């Protein structure tokens, strides 16, 4: 019934994870282990290969550093994926993809996940009392994604993008562009043992994905007015100056990217005194990049 696709940096999957899946999934399943120990694949090509190898009609893409904390979650996946016009389901997401590259949590955060790491653990459930077992979102975090094999007639992980970031943003935007609905679900719980890395590569891919979809953005599933959306975009453009500034982008690269998104959103005024804003962002957060 369920094909569980895991891209791993190890030759063999953790026996703890495979035993955990076996004990909790609650349905017939297969684990498709994409061995990426030799860095053969991007996450995009690894997941596409997993889909090709799958034999069941329901697909689950999950990170290897997780532990399922709920039982019969495979049954719940199948039930949710029988919802009309369903695209993808996940455990964390947000209700807006504006025209400015930003986190999936930008607006309308929905989440049901235990996040662990650095000696602490936090169960995040937002909203605390959801109206149903699933809430519609636009974007989903890639720690856990599920969909139908049928959807892969027109969805595909974009192998033109390299690396291990942005795949979740892009596949969710593909679903929205095909008039499908994405959901965060509240009857599946897992623990994730790393918070992910929003490094330079993350932002490079985020910029690529947003440029790819710029002519169809924004995607929203809330009742935001045009004025409210534009205000969010303005705030996120200001934040993007700092986000790019403290990572390994050159001055000219940052200026080029910001000029593009400022022009698209008619926010050129945000870039007034751009050089000073970038200087202070680097001075207080990454002084090694001050003159690069």
DSSP symbols for 203-225: HHHHHHHHHHHTTT--EESS---
pLDDT digits over 249-290, tens only?
Answer: 999 999 999 999 999 999 999 999 888 788 778 877 777 776
Q: What is the mean pLDDT of residues 189-213?
A: 95
Q: What is the mean pLDDT of residues 211-236?
A: 97
Whether residue 247 is contained in a domain is answered as: yes
The answer to whether the peptide bond before residue 218 is cis (omega within 30 degrees of 0) is yes
State the Cα–Cα distance between residues 114 and 276, nearest whole angstrom.
39
Going by C-alpha positions, the residue among 177, 184, 156 that lies closest to residue 88 is: 184
Strands (E), 69-108: 86-90, 92-94, 96-97
Same domain, 255 and 145: no
Q: How many domains does the chain have?
A: 2
pTM: 0.95
Going by C-alpha positions, the residue among 185, 262, 175 that lies closest to residue 219 is: 175
pLDDT of residue 134 exceeding 70? yes
pLDDT digits over 23-61, tens only?
Answer: 999 999 999 999 999 999 999 999 999 999 999 999 999
Q: How far are the Cα atoms of 7, 94, 128, 147 from residue 125, in angstroms, in the given order?
A: 27, 13, 5, 22
Whether residue 140 is contained in a domain is answered as: yes
pLDDT of residue 161 exceeding 70? yes
Reading the block at residue 78, the tokens are 């199948």
- Predicted local distance difference test score (pLDDT) of residue 278: 84
Q: For residue 7, what are the domain limits?
A: 2-205
Query: Which of 205, 238, 261 is where one domain is finished?
Result: 205
Going by C-alpha positions, the residue among 237, 256, 238, 253 that lies closest to residue 292 is: 253
- Predicted local distance difference test score (pLDDT) of residue 125: 96
Bridge pairing between strands 110-117 and 190-192: parallel
Same domain, 93 and 128: yes
Lowest-confidence pick of 76-80, 116-120, 205-209, 268-272:
116-120
Whether residue 210 is contained in a domain is answered as: no
Q: What is the CATH number of the domain that holds 116?
A: 3.90.550.10
The answer to whether 286 and 246 are in contact (CB under 8 A) is yes
Same domain, 150 and 97: yes
- Predicted local distance difference test score (pLDDT) of residue 95: 98
Same domain, 161 and 200: yes
Confidence band of 195 (pLDDT split at 50, 70, 90)? confident
Give the list of residues 6+ apart from residue 242 with CB closer than 8 angstroms, or none: 277, 281, 285
State the Cα–Cα distance between residues 48 and 41, nearest whole angstrom.
10
The answer to whether the peptide bond before residue 99 is cis (omega within 30 degrees of 0) is no
- Predicted local distance difference test score (pLDDT) of residue 291: 62
- Predicted local distance difference test score (pLDDT) of residue 168: 99
Same domain, 282 and 186: no
Whether residue 136 is contained in a domain is answered as: yes
Same domain, 234 and 124: no
Percent of the chain with pLDDT over 90: 89
Same domain, 45 and 146: yes
pLDDT of residue 74 exceeding 90? yes
Percent of the chain with pLDDT over 70: 99
Query: Which of 145, 175, 205 is where one domain is finished?
Result: 205
């Amino acid at each position: 019934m369920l094909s569980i696709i895991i891209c791993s940096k190890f030759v063999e999957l953790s026996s703890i994870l495979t035993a955990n899946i076996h004990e909790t999934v609650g349905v017939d399943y297969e684990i498709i282990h994409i061995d990426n120990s030799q860095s053969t694949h991007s996450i995009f090509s690894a997941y596409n290969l997993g889909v090709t190898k799958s034999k069941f009609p329901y697909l689950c893409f999950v990170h290897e550093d997780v532990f399922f904390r709920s039982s019969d979650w495979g049954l719940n996946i199948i039930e949710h994926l029988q919802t009309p016009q369903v695209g993808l389901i996940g455990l964390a997401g947000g209700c807006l993809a504006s025209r400015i590259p930003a986190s999936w949590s930008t607006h309308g955060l929905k989440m049901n996940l235990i996040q662990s790491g650095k000696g602490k653990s936090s169960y995040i459930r937002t909203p605390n009392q959801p109206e149903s077992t699933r809430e519609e979102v636009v974007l989903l975090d890639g720690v856990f994604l599920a969909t139908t094999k049928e959807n892969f007639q027109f969805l595909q992980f974009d192998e033109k993008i390299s690396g291990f970031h942005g795949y979740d943003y892009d596949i969710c935007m593909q679903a929205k562009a095909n008039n499908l609905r994405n959901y965060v679900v509240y009857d599946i719980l897992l623990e994730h043992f790393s918070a992910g890395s929003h490094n330079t590569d993350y932002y490079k891919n985020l910029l690529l994905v947003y440029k790819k979809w710029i002519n169809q953005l924004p995607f929203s599933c809330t009742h935001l007015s045009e004025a409210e959306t534009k205000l969010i975009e303005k705030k996120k453009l200001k934040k993007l100056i700092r986000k790019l500034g403290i990572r390994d982008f050159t001055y000219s690269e940052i200026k080029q990217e910001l000029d593009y998104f400022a022009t698209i959103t008619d926010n050129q005024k945000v870039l007034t005194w751009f050089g000073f804003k970038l200087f202070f962002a680097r001075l207080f957060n990454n002084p090694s990049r001050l003159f690069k």
